[in-house]
Structure 1
Amino acid sequence: MADFDIIVYGATGYTGRLVAEYLAGSYPAGVRWAMAGRSLTNLRLVRDDLGLPESTPLLTANSDDAASLRAMCARTTVVITTVGPYQVYGSDLVAACAATGTAYVDLCGEPGWMRQMIDAHHQAAKASGARIVFSCGFDSIPFDLGVLTLQEAARARFGRPAPQVKCRVRSMKGGFSGGTAASLKATMAAAARDPSLIALLASPFALTPGHSGAHQPAGLLPEYDPTINAWVAPFVMAPINTKNVHRTNFLLDQPYGADFVYDEMVVTGLGDLGKAAAEALAKLNPFAGDSGPKPGEGPSKEERETGHFDILFAGLMPDGGRIDAVVTGDRDPGYGCTSKMLAESALCLVQDVAGEGGIWTPGALMGVPLRDRLMAKAGMTFTA
């Protein structure tokens, strides 16, 4: 039996600290968890700042010390890692989990690296029983489980899945951290070094080795969407979310259909004002320049707690029928809600879901049990 149910690796970072705070406040008993990072001194500072008892287990592990990562994995059922960019700091940890059979959850939105890890470690994880799950935050749980929720309702009402789903982000309030910006910059740098990554980043099927489905909407330009009678603009997280949704369909043997079509856009409003807002948003790069937050920085507590999101999924049927699903969250999507989603994903692997080893998506491995946890514990709603 492992010493711990969960180890939060990267607990001294911005998001890791939020995860530790959530676990301490929501699961004061019954969950055996520890904090890990490269500096014991900094771990103690976080422990004391959060008001945790001195008995809180603290472990040292470093991304450039493979032996320390394997030793950490050997002591836990699940590793939560917030140490990104993952393409810079995460590869040895995935390898360690795949080798030791340790479950793993992260916040990754770096599809090029994710595909490299799938190619390198999926079979080893299957053999060891390691359940490795990327993208267990705002990218891409609300979208992955939102499509799952809609397709359940479509099968119940129409007897078949919706062959096309339009995801429309109706409202979203919240900031981004320095880690998010660093991940995007690392991805762009990797593509500059290896141009073959560009095609991979552009493909909706980058995470479905050997499968390419129907032509998918590009979602790169503002447009008027007659489905919702409003203007829409490109959504900055669509490039990772769409890939994860298609991987869920792939891993579950195409329950949404082999030619499933899916896209994501942001709703900007009606009429000329909606059009102008869509055109302005399409030109905006929130990560441009050096004036944004640095790694380790992010939204304030007030900003996290006053944030929210509301996402519509419209399922279009061949006969013109339509079915909708809605996903909402009660905190800043990137961090207030994400820290809860990440912690509950780890607990779902500990308490609710067995499943075989491999590199999974949240929807394919945890699906309904995770959705139930998020509604009961994490301030999220899924309705259809």
Structure 2
Amino acid sequence: MSETREFDVIMYGATGYTGRLVAEYLAQNYAGDVRWAMAGRSADKLAAVRDEIGAPADTPLIVADADDPQSLADMVARGKCVATTVGPYQLYGEALLAACAEAGTDYVDLCGEPAWMRKMIDKYEAKAKDSGARIVFSCGFDSIPFDLGIWFVQQAAKEEFGAPASRVRGRVRGMQGTFSGGTAASLKATMAAAAKDPEVVKLLLNPFSLTPGFQGADQPPGNTVDYEADIDSWVAPFIMAAINTRNVHRTNFLLGHPYGEDFVYDEMVLTGPGAAGEAAAKAVAGDNSLASEDGPKPGEGPSKEEREAGFYDVLFIAEDGDGNTVTAGVTGDKDPGYGSTSKMIAESAICLVRDVPDAPGGIFTPAAVMADPLIRRLEANAGLTFKRES
């Protein structure tokens, strides 16, 4: 970005539950280091949140509203990168993304809505390339630990095998915490869109929905209960796989297929061995609480104590054509949907501005544009670890 901008990062949606956590993280960790501002629809609410989170009294506040395109244009012109937590993005996100693509302003979000993401790719990728805007979807628990985890284990596979692995399994070994209300709202909005439009259904069912013009190898269905002898555990469907696998395939696509054009990847939850493991796997497979009316609501979330007690641990098993394997683990502190996610999106925004300033414009996944610089930043600042295990 050649011209000078007033702010490095603008946090849009700062009065929402997750946006407030992002603003708090920036205030606690980057005050005086990163030029950042809080943005939202109400100046009074922004000021109240600023005071509640202990941000400096002179933290800039920007009033902008998705229903007022000029206010969005004025806002994005002031920043190098806008981080947005205002979802579901298919309902509230397009105007901001369009403004960033037009102005050459970087953009990061927490989107896990593949049909909307594909629509935005088709509609705005050429504009982002022309303007130099780096639009990066899915900069939270979906899909950073998985997208970067695959990139990390593939580096280990190249060292071990001399070539990337053609097959990788992502297996969630442990997780404590809740999915965000935004995730639940996005799922419900996606289901509503699918009920109205058969094309949305096709995109949701296609593992390569985010790779326009490319259709790769058949992928595992991901909706079964099975026993995997090599790790002595039953496995069950993982609800975030529907977005994570699409982002991983888009990373491979954007980078020119370094994992191979026949790359196969799936994600499941480990539930343990024996009859207890089988029963747990079947219980996970039958759980649809995220889509129920009793699920988390946007703007709601766990207490600070619950966020602090959360964690996640994901195993990646990379296999070559001869059955040889190399494994790596990715862990995160705090609960995945809020505590860790708020740190990941903040570090993604700063990484774009500071660590990869010369990357070209376009619509990206985290690994496709930031990869190793983001891994280093997350390990140093955000409580994540990336470790080769075998």
SS of 1:171's partner is strand
Please tell me the residue identity of whatever aligns with 1:254: H
Per-residue deviation, residues 287-332 of structure 1 (Å, max 9, x unmatched): 2432233221011111110000000000111112100010000110
Per-residue deviation, residues 186-221 of structure 1 (Å, max 9, x unmatched): 111111111211110011100000001100001101
**Does residue 174 of structure 2 align to residue 171 of structure 1?**
yes
Q: TM-score, normalised by structure 2?
A: 0.97
What residue number does 1:70 align with?
73
- The equivalences for 1:270-285 within 5 A come to 270-285=273-288
Contact 2:7–2:78 under 8 Å retained in 1: yes
**Does residue 341 of structure 2 align to residue 338 of structure 1?**
yes
1:356 deviates by 0.3
SS of 2:290's partner is coil
d(CA) in 1 for partners of 2:207, 2:215: 8
- The equivalences for 1:290-309 within 5 A come to 290-309=293-312
Task: Count residues with an aligned counterpart.
Answer: 384
Per-residue deviation, residues 127-153 of structure 1 (Å, max 9, x unmatched): 000000000000000000000011101
Contact 2:225–2:237 under 8 Å retained in 1: yes
Contact 2:107–2:136 under 8 Å retained in 1: yes
What residue number does 2:258 align with?
255
- The equivalences for 1:12-31 within 5 A come to 12-31=15-34
1:125 deviates by 0.2
SS of 2:230's partner is coil
What residue number does 2:380 align with?
376
d(CA) in 2 for partners of 1:87, 1:313: 31
What residue number does 1:158 align with?
161
What residue number does 2:320 align with?
317
What residue number does 2:89 align with?
86
d(CA) in 1 for partners of 2:232, 2:317: 12
Unaligned runs of 5+ in 1: none
**Does residue 119 of structure 2 align to residue 116 of structure 1?**
yes
- The equivalences for 1:348-359 within 5 A come to 348-354=351-357, 355-359=359-363
Per-residue deviation, residues 195-249 of structure 1 (Å, max 9, x unmatched): 2111100111000000011000011011111231210000000000000000000
**Does residue 176 of structure 2 align to residue 185 of structure 1?**
no
What residue number does 2:249 align with?
246
d(CA) in 1 for partners of 2:57, 2:32: 15
d(CA) in 2 for partners of 1:61, 1:127: 25
SS of 1:337's partner is helix
d(CA) in 1 for partners of 2:21, 2:328: 29
CA RMSD in angstroms comes to 0.8
What residue number does 2:366 align with?
362
1:286 deviates by 2.4
d(CA) in 2 for partners of 1:177, 1:341: 14
Please tell me the residue identity of whatever aligns with 2:114: P
What residue number does 2:330 align with?
327
Q: TM-score, normalised by structure 1?
A: 0.99
1:53 deviates by 2.5
SS of 1:227's partner is helix
Contact 2:28–2:55 under 8 Å retained in 1: no
1:65 deviates by 1.0
Contact 1:178–1:294 under 8 Å retained in 2: yes
Contact 1:166–1:314 under 8 Å retained in 2: yes
Please tell me the residue identity of whatever aligns with 2:379: M
d(CA) in 1 for partners of 2:176, 2:90: 28
d(CA) in 1 for partners of 2:275, 2:117: 40
Contact 1:175–1:303 under 8 Å retained in 2: no
Please tell me the residue identity of whatever aligns with 1:190: A
1:113 deviates by 0.3
Please tell me the residue identity of whatever aligns with 1:133: V
d(CA) in 2 for partners of 1:249, 1:184: 25
Return 262-271 or 51-60, whichever deviates more.
Answer: 51-60
d(CA) in 2 for partners of 1:279, 1:179: 26
d(CA) in 1 for partners of 2:141, 2:29: 20
Please tell me the residue identity of whatever aligns with 2:279: A
Contact 1:99–1:124 under 8 Å retained in 2: yes
d(CA) in 1 for partners of 2:262, 2:300: 41
Identity of aligned residues (%): 64
d(CA) in 1 for partners of 2:255, 2:179: 32
d(CA) in 2 for partners of 1:62, 1:87: 16
1:115 deviates by 0.2
